[in-house]
Amino acid sequence: MTLTLQLKSSEWREHLARTAADVPGLVPVAKGNGYGFGLERLAREAVDLPVDCMAVGTLPEVAGVRDGGWGGDVVVLTPWCAADGVAGLDDPGLILTVARGEDLTALRAARPKSRVILELLTSMRRHGLGLAELNAAFADLGELRHEGWTIHLPIAHQNAFEEARILAAAAQEVAPSLLWLSHLPMADLKVLDALHNGQTRYRMGTGLWLGAPSTRRTMARVLDVHHVRRGDRIGYWQHPMPTAGSVAVISGGTAHGVALSAPTAGSSVKQRLASMVTGSMEAMGFALSPFTVDGRKRFFVEPPHMQSSLIFLPRKAHVRIGEMVPVELRLTTATVDRIEDDCSW
């Protein structure tokens, strides 16, 4: 029962290398589900890139990139908070983010030689020190090693560059140091990097690991097929089948991140025509699945099970037990069973 992420590995790695060459101060981000690849795999890939620092989301994720063989510096993006305690802070490559004056004071008391990046509050209003607090925070560092300032901008931003420019200038006035940025258009990043003499670092996850979408695809296996008659009751919930056809059992369920997708109202003529065909299934309460069988997205018989899904197929659809079929997954929320390297298609 395998949901597989297939890679054109060398083309994917060419994209990673090109990105690393193009982005000044690239810091690969590996967090959460490792963008579908897992933290260890991303760490192994980062080892081969010309970068000296990775970023993870949380402190426990540091172990994931260490297990993947990453020996360089690791920035933890979620700000350290006094309530977190000092477990896990002994790694000499660890760089913590601190976003509140109280936490800085607590860290100085608990681990006075830690390496820290101070976070500035942006229009995202998630974490960070206000501009008026920067001087006091910097003065409160004691023996803590200041590794720079971080500015985390919203993705949807009218004028990201202007905000980044103002915050960066304010921080540099307090103390010239590295500027850690994310979610800036590349042209803006390059201008800022030139303004600050190559002192910018740029964190990137999605664009790095999930760029070049043509170098990967996610495939699911058809595990079984049963013929059904109109009105037959199928599955956990015993829904009656709308017409005769078949039910395919396909690998991929909630544990893999396969979810019911809400049918969307089509707007283009082509979409409307398509929904005249599929509309009757939708009207009967069936949801479109992310599985493509015989060239078309097919409908779920019922919500996905934990590791497989029941998919309704009309009589004319061709399907073969054992074949691999495309499944559309959002890799930031997916867990695949297997990554297959050096594929071609």
Ligand X SMILES: *Cc1c(COP(=O)(O)O)cnc(C)c1O
Q: Summarize as ranges the residues that interact with ligand X (CB under 6 A).
A: 29, 31, 77, 152, 182, 203-207
Torsion angle in degrees (nearest 10) through CA of 229, 254, 291, 235: 0
CB of residue 75 vs ligand X: minimum separation in angstroms? 9
Nearer to ligand X, 155 or 265 (CB): 155
CB of residue 319 vs ligand X: minimum separation in angstroms? 36
CB of residue 122 vs ligand X: minimum separation in angstroms? 10
Give phi and psi for 129, each to the nearest 5: -85, 140
Contacts of 127 (CB under 8 A, 6+ apart): 79, 97, 99, 100, 119, 121, 152
Instruction: Report the alpha-carbon distance of residue 52 to residue 74 in Å, rounded.
Output: 9
CB of residue 171 vs ligand X: minimum separation in angstroms? 16
Burial of 135: CB neighbours in 10 Å, binned 0-12, 13-18, 19+:
middle
Tell me the HSE value of 6 on the side-chain side, using a 13 A CA sphere: 15
Nearer to ligand X, 3 or 54 (CB): 54
User: Pick from 324, 325, 310, 319: which is nearest to 253 by CA?
Assistant: 310
Instruction: Report the alpha-carbon distance of residue 294 to residue 270 in Å, rounded.
Output: 19
CB of residue 180 vs ligand X: minimum separation in angstroms? 8
Instruction: Report the alpha-carbon distance of residue 142 to residue 186 in Å, rounded.
Output: 35
Nearer to ligand X, 57 or 263 (CB): 57
CB of residue 204 vs ligand X: minimum separation in angstroms? 5
Instruction: Report the alpha-carbon distance of residue 81 to residue 239 in Å, rounded.
Output: 50
Nearer to ligand X, 103 or 310 (CB): 103
Nearer to ligand X, 205 or 290 (CB): 205
Residue of closest CB approach to ligand X: 205
Q: How many other CB atoms sit within 10 Å of the CB of residue 92?
A: 7
Nearer to ligand X, 31 or 221 (CB): 31
Instruction: Report the alpha-carbon distance of residue 286 to residue 237 in Å, rounded.
Output: 13
CB of residue 167 vs ligand X: minimum separation in angstroms? 14
Give phi and psi for 255, each to the nearest 5: -65, -25
Nearer to ligand X, 77 or 220 (CB): 77
CB of residue 31 vs ligand X: minimum separation in angstroms? 6
Nearer to ligand X, 205 or 257 (CB): 205
Nearer to ligand X, 111 or 183 (CB): 183
CB of residue 127 vs ligand X: minimum separation in angstroms? 9
> 153-192 burial by CB neighbour count: b if 16+ within 10 A, else e?
beeebeebbebbbebbeebeebeebbbbbbbbeeebbbbb
> Do residues 181 and 202 make contact, with C-beta atoms less than 8 angstroms apart?
yes
User: Pick from 180, 151, 148: which is nearest to 24 by CA?
Assistant: 180
